[in-house]
Amino acid sequence: MSYTIRQVYQHLLKHHGSQDWWPGDTPFEIMVGAILTQNTAWSNVEKAIANLKVADCLDAATIVALPHDDLAEMLRPSGYFNIKTRRLQAFCEWLLAQGGEQAVAEYDTEAMRDALLEVYGVGPETADDIVLYAFHRPVFVIDAYTRRIFSRLGIISGDEGYEELRGRFESTLKGKAKLYNEYHALIVMHGKDVCRVKPRCHACVFTDKCSYISKP
């Protein structure tokens, strides 16, 4: 018998401790981080955000007004910087068109999520990062770490659609944003440090019921 979704959370929390994630001084900084973290390590995102802060450019209006090349140079550490420049400016244009963060905060959760998914370069994972971490709404973020860990534990097959998995976690946990926040952060920690592509099984708390560990 494999672990349940709730049991995985309990084991991760006991092993790794509370994560206090997502790092960011403001909701806008969290949103920027969600855009920039696509296909890169968080340490690279921090460097890009630091560049924006040093240049006093960490606000939507300034980002929209910046020449592409200037913004791209600041975002260079995050990788794919030309693509991310277009995506970040498109997101900031959308945010300003809505009336800013306070106006978006008035949306109900599904309307907010649907609106974000219409923005250039914003997929389900990025949208849910923003909805959960910047606006504290109860949506469960599904990422590559989630698929890797839970498929290795035999809880999911790993090839389910994003919405199917999100619905499964939310219907099982029936939690608030604080729980989803902590759980996703723990998944990221475990996937990054332990259950890697080449896993560090000796450091894992799930070896007693993990089918993957028995594979050569």
The residue type at 151:
S
- Asked if 132 and 177 touch (Cβ cutoff 8 Å), the reply is yes
Mean pLDDT by 10 residues, the chain (216 residues): 93 96 94 96 96 98 98 98 98 98 97 98 98 97 97 95 98 96 97 96 93 72
How far apart CA 188 and CA 27 sit, in angstroms, is 20
Tokens 């592509």 identify what position?
A: 197
Domain extents in the chain: 5-20+140-203, 27-134
pLDDT of residue 1: 72
- Asked if 80 and 71 touch (Cβ cutoff 8 Å), the reply is no
How far apart CA 116 and CA 104 sit, in angstroms, is 10
27-134 CATH, one of 1.10.357.10, 1.10.340.30, 3.40.50.720, 3.30.70.980: 1.10.340.30
**Environment class of residue 21 by beta-carbon count within 10 Å: exposed (0-12), middle (13-18) or buried (19+)?**
middle
**CATH number for the domain formed by residue range(s) 5-20+140-203:** 1.10.1670
Q: pTM value? A: 0.95
pLDDT of residue 215: 64
User: Treating both helix axes as pointing N-terminal to C-terminal, what angle do 81-98 and 27-36 enclose, rounded to 10 degrees?
Assistant: 140
How far apart CA 37 and CA 78 sit, in angstroms, is 7
**Which DSSP category does 53 fall into?**
H
